[in-house]
Amino acid sequence: MTRRAAVIILLATLAAGSTRAFAASLGSVNTAALTSFSAASTVATSSCSSSPTQDTWIDAAHTTTPHSTSTTLQVASGTKPTYALVQLTPCAPANAKIVSATLQLYLGTAPSSARTYAVFPVTSSWVESVTWKTAPTISAVQSASATTGANGAWMSWSLTGDVQGLVNGAANNGWAIEDNGNGTFAGVLDSREGTNPPVLAITYYP
């Protein structure tokens, strides 16, 4: 073997060793590893809260009596039920990504037994002077439910999906709060004219 051939073989051997060392430093490489990556999120969430634009309650026992200036929202079950109606405009901007949206109402007087209060979307327009006789249409599908606590407790319902629809352009007719359980029980929530008005708390990405 000539001196020149020996040098060429030596250089080729050294190059192959360097290639193997570089490949080993990469660890296990597959298709998934080559096509995926992770990055830290730098987009912060924002939070805001909305107050009611209108609220009232409607009463099956007094079908033509409005309660538009009442400081309370009464919810009762039984053969002559009462429903609370509340409408709030989401404070998040149009087409924002809603992370959470929680409707909160203050239970000033709890029913004598724990009850489930369900929230249903209202599907037609209404005004605050509405009565049982002129009541808007209400969806048969509830958005959320919560169990009553003691006097002076806040009740909360997660309405993230509903509010996402509203900021995306869906019609906003508010919600009805109902007790559709057996028996006759009544609870009293604070209205927007009361000491602790309803709140819609929203967290969102701009």
For position 43, what pLDDT does the model report?
86
Reported confidence tier of residue 6, pLDDT bands at 50, 70, 90? very low
- Could you tell me if 151 and 110 are in contact, meaning their C-beta atoms sit under 8 angstroms apart? yes
- pLDDT one-digit tens code per residue, 46-55: 999 999 999 9
> What contacts 22, CB < 8 A, 6 or more positions away?
none
Burial of 171 per CB tally in 10 Å (0-12, 13-18, 19+): exposed
What's the whole-model pTM score? 0.80
What does pLDDT average to over the chain? 88
For position 206, what pLDDT does the model report?
87
- pLDDT one-digit tens code per residue, 165-178: 999 999 999 999 99
Per-residue pLDDT for 184 more than 50? Answer: yes
The structure tokens listed for 201 are 């708390």
Mapping DSSP to helix (H, G, I), strand (E, B) and coil, where does residue 146 land? strand
- How crowded is the C-beta side of 38, counted as CA atoms within 13 Å? 2
**Where in the chain are the domains?**
3-35, 47-205
- pLDDT one-digit tens code per residue, 126-138: 999 999 999 999 9
More confident residue, 204 or 2: 204
| Cα–Cα distance measured from residue 92 to residue 117, given in angstroms and rounded to the nearest whole number | 26
- Helices then strands, each counted (H, E), the chain: 3, 11
- Could you tell me if 203 and 46 are in contact, meaning their C-beta atoms sit under 8 angstroms apart? yes
Rg for the chain, CA atoms, rounded: 31
Mapping DSSP to helix (H, G, I), strand (E, B) and coil, where does residue 45 land? coil
